[in-house]
Chains A and B, each alone.
Chain A
Amino acid sequence: MAGDCSIRALWILNNLDAVVFSRRFPVVEKRWRAACHSENESSGDDPVKYNVFSSLPSDLELAAAFADRKTREGSVRGFGIRVSQSKEGSDSWVDDPITRHIVGFYLNREEEGENNLLWPLALHIKGPYCILILPLVEPKHVKAYARLCKRSDCGNAVMADEKLSSLLLDLPSITGAFMVAYAIGEIVTGDVAEPEVVVSQSPSVGGLLDSLTGSIGISGISRAKPIAAPVASSAPSGAAAVGALAPDVPKSGSRLLDKDALRSFISSAMPFGTPLDLSYSNIFSIKANGFSSLDIPPQDLKQPAWKPYLYKGKQRLLFTIHETLHAAMYDRDEIPDSLSVSGQINCRAELEGLPDVSFPLKGVSTSKIEVLSFHPCSQVPEQNVDKQALMFSPPLGNFVLMRYQATCSLGPPVKGFYQLSMVSEDEGAFLFKLHLMQGYKSPLTMEFCNVTMPFPRRKILSLDGTPSAGTVSNTEHSVEWKIITSGRGLSGKSIEATFPGTVRFSPWQTPRSTSFRSVLEGTTDDDSDNEIENTNNMVNTEEFLMEKMNEDLPPVDLEEPFSWLAYNYAKVSFKIVGASVSGISIDPKSVSIYPTVKAPVELSSQVTSGDYILWNTLGKCPSAVNAKV
């Protein structure tokens, strides 16, 4: 059974912990029962008397188990690592952050005895929904996990014989289950985003459906229901919400679940519970359009399963290099600034037939590319950095051809420092001094550039100061400085912008809700007399205030990189077009298509900011050791 992925059942719960959709796969379940049967027979003399729970829960039971785990683990995802509240037998007892994603439920069924662990459930939270996928594993794996989470000792040693890591390595079904969960998540929330491909001429460039409707000539085809419009979405991945707490609970959403769309997706993607293809656009095209007699299979080749339709029409090839720049700017001697690029090449190949496309990647050797990974359709020769030639047989529609991590070869587009000093408890003086686009030559153009100073825990009363360039505005909890507003792009020159000012806050009030503390707090101890003493030792206002504010700092989720709220920083957001900042590029002339056709190749690039943070030079800042790769 190893090496396969089958789903026993899946459930979708809403934010009221009620099951809104469920699907069970009896064929898989039958295999599970057979496995349980033989396992229970073979382990007759097993010292650990543990009979594997052998039937699926009803929606009611599952919802109860879900709520039960939520209570036991503090939140939907759970603690993840062993904390003082962790109970033996619960997920966090295993002490591994992945238990926030791979969860186990205890079903409350008296007749089944105590051993009613339902594991592994892939948990994916999307919008207001929690998606739970139960893949088929062998009963012995469930037993192994049960032992892990019921061990009475202080936790797993890294070299232990029985580990979660080994289990996960042996269980590709879990990996598959997450793929299913993500696919379903996109459907239930309706934000199926195809990778963006920027096109200069044609205004109507969408995804697969556009190429279909364009080619077949059917204009009024109703698009697959749940998708609002699969137009090029502008949401790049990896741009996390900064400064705000990403709450663990699902956000409330207004969309209603489209059960028909979901049901038909599941029926096609995994008719018997074993996923075959999770491509949403393919499945919905087939469901919606079917095939006509005009769809003729290729003569000598087999049409790939991931390309049910072949393109017909005007041929062209589009590439978009999309890079996201993450930076931590410290402006300190002891901590070097760090700047990293995560990029991807999106592609859209409007080519007839089943051609192979190949081209050499330019700049791979010069721009320090750390990671390259590719779409399954591509064939990667043995990694040879100098001649990184890539060949692929493109699928239909927009797709991500490759991804990479690199360093920024051009240097930071926004460079400088941010200093904030609290002159009193409620007043801060700040100074920005920034260089924009230093060393960036045309055609690199900065379309816009904003700097935001978030103060999520303080209320801004007033703001003084005038920047040397751009405009300033403030909301209750943040100051925004627009250095370059869209429409007046900056190209071919660099500018320097300074912004001295003061910001006044309303007096700090200790939020009296301490409920959040219970989430990750260790031992409860009310050493209030402790702090009284500390006051006297505080050297300056800054530290004192910091200390005071930290008293009520909630613990962050494990999905956050650090406690954003504990730091003062400014976040820069910008967009640069014209070229990549990593130096990676494609020469349109060297792109070759086999069998040869004449098709124009278009290339575009855009760079956006991800977490581009200027840490307050005068305050505390998080850092990490930069390891050489």
Chain B
Amino acid sequence: MAMAIKLSLILLLCLSSLLAPSFSLFEDQVGLMDWHQRYIGKVKHAVFHTQKAGRKRVLVSTEENVIASLDLRRGEIFWRHVLGPNDVVDKIDIALGKYVITLSSEGSILRAWNLPDGQMVWESFLSGSKYSKALLTVPSNLKVDLDSPIFVYSGGCLHAISSIDGEYLWKKDFAIESVDVHQLILSGGSDVVHAVGVTDSSQFDTYEIDVKNGGLLKHTSASFPGGVYGEILPVSGDRFVVLDASRSVVLLITVNNGATHLQQTHVSDLIHGSSENTVILPSKLSGIFSLRTDSCIVFVKVTDEGKLNVMEKVDKTVVVSDALALSEGEQAFALVQQGDSKIELSVRLVHDMSSNHLKETVKMDHERGFVHKIFINNYVRTDRSHGFRALIVMEDHSLLLLQQGEIVWTRDDGLASVIDVTTSELPVEKIGVSVAKVEHSLFEWLKGHMLKLKGTLMLATPDEVAAIQQIRLQSSQKNKMTRDHNGFRKLLILLTRAGKLYALHTGNGRVVWSTLLQSLRTTSQQQCAGLKLRQWQVPHHHALDNNPSVLVVGRCGLSLTSPSALSIVDAYTGKELQNLGPAEHSTVQVITLPFRDSTEQQLHLLIDADKRAHLYPTTPEAASIFQRESENVYWYSVESEAGILRGYGVKKTHSSEYSFEARNLWSIVFPAESEKIIATVTRKPNEVVHTQAKVIADEDVMYKYISKNMVFVATVSPKASGPIGSATPDESVLVVYLIDTVTGRILHRMTHLGSQGPVHAVLSENWVVYHYFNLRAHRYEMSVIEIYDQSRAENKDVLKLIVGKHNLTTPVSSYSRPEVTTKSQSYFFTHSVKAISVSSTAKGITSKHLLIGTIGDQVLALDKRFVDPRRSLNPTQAEKEEGLLPLTDALPIIPQSYVTHAFKVEGLRGIETIPAKLESTSLVFAYGVDLFYTRIAPSKTYDSLTEDFNYALLLLTIVALVIAIFVTWVLSERKDLQDKWR
């Protein structure tokens, strides 16, 4: 017995030593094969902080819910906070010159962050009675009892909050009056805050409220029967403008001594010509407002007598900044005019609209698209005049700082919103390199290895050690633009939300090319967005002269039935080869078929909202290939709202050559009162499985059920579909299904009582691992289901296998309904999960690692052996030899197995794994707001030498051995001769 315990202890030790350090890195290995890039996303709002500050900075809030402080000189991030996906930042401002105030979650959370280091100072939760627009006003020089209050309007209430500690000062509820406040105005010096709003969209209200206690001082109202459209904009202290509901009349509201005076002016009187889709731009300029229509933007001055004078008419693509207060009530604002591959920035003073205060022309890469937003800031030059810097946000979400007619820095923040990822091989290295280059690289190589040798023998000086590290990090090998033997160098092609394609080199993450896709550009008529990115042409044998290309599928419009936009892009240059959009059909599904034409173009089926299939490429050859195979092509749709899965086949009769009618083959209807679909997962279409047999203890064999046509569906009871805690364990049931998508056959169904979502799952080979919450145990759980084919289980006779009498390689059909068995097991798992993926290798021989995106935005590698349903409490000797681990109730989290080591991939959304050519290695790309790339070797790099292998030492040894052989040979010859003479 004691012996057995000892043995198992030794075994455990061996195992733990095998498992634990398999992915951990040494400190000096960081950056050798991984890179990490930090982004913030498209800037929504920016506040400059440049006065009397040593480090000039700009504070931004973005559409990825990031608040960040950026260095104005270089554009680097000083600090950054990523608020959750549900915590949308509404407003941002600076208070007391030292706090950054953010209002988020529809105005319900107010936070103050320390300006220099980004630490949170205080946080206040504001409760409101109804939903309303969130407004934030931070008065710059208002003092109330040694305190500077912040005014927040949210949830139908006006709150005054101390900027020092976030305490409530007072609250005024507007919900009773059912007024919708549009503006909060603090006239300088007075102790009154004006709230301007609209009641029932037909009555204009102004409230004067005491800043000390929130008491109502004055209330005036005036009704206009027409109703209003959009926001009320203050023009001057007592004047406001708003559009009426028909958007054809500008209402000028004058509040004078408690009396409200309305004045109507037709837009057509201001703009001679078309005045469709008129809006008042929200730029607050004193005495001036701007109107935008489909044709132009006009600046209208409101005179003291209440007359509206059109001052200027500019092109509608012009972007107008907010007003910037200069000295003595002077205001400046910036206009950006889009030109061809350049932009014109002009700064004007409000009181002198006629001339440009400053006009600069800046060259602009046309791949950045139009200017979307501009924020300006001024600085005082040495000659006491005002200089301006402008922060502009481009169509591709990039951020640029302009100063003195030049781009000071740029940030490619479009990469914070990656939608889809694919890869492309790099070009093959051209033969015929110059001798000088070879000699040079050989010399470099030798020098490097001599240095390494010195390092190994501990002869290197500290300077040389630094040089060695430098060589390792900046190896020119890994950044070459050609294919390598191991398949580590690739192009990562990323599609971003802005409709821009980026190609990143896996060596160091640099952007090789980027293209703003013309077919996906949002225009004023329609909003376009990318949906999917697929490999279109992967030249292998026949079309090696062609560059690989990718297919981008997008949609122009917001509904599912909107027409789709397709374009094909060269993966080496980023040129748009073909623009197929807008196509006349919509796209709700993109199916990559496993067929290729003679030019190695992948056949694709695009399913539209009317369940018709459209074949691409539209060539006769593709059509004939598809006609031949169409009998065996199926597709399915998951209607998660209705709770229905439907399977389709191709109808024989087709409407046109490249579009096909569908016939409904099967449907699975989940009972709406008890089940609601929350997750579906399929196998990765390009996954390679090496063998169908799983060898278990005692050389026994189990046959995996390997089918690409399998979908994992998870449903929960409708009550439990909310967040955790909203349902009791008794009313929440999680049901998981494995369904064959050809026949609609349910292969396996399992119920988890007292469990609920969110469910994250990964399906690979013959297993599925999923993560959910167990309400009874109050813990997250991970379960595994492995599915085995019983119809092949009889193939166990060695003799028959030797002579080939087996049915293991005959093609299988789902209609043969093979018998299946499943094994499953559940474990506790400490973390909640954002994404699960699995490593993939070229041949599928290497064992697998689950890659788990944890709630802390890190990627954890978990050996698949931990989630093996055959684990038992006391494994037999044979099972131990097989590598089966004893069963534990929880899955271990080994700190060394975080593949992201010290980094965080903020806002993690997805983990992509790409097989390298080297079987042992899998490339991992994790994306969210940040990007992270590394290589993992789940079974260690058994097929290659490590990076720091000392070739020089090997060479030296070989040379020494050859010399020794030669010397001994000479000696022995001499001795032989002497013997003969004796």
Bound pair: A and B? no
* B interface residues with partner A (beta carbon < 8 Å): none
Interface residues of A (CB under 8 A from B): none
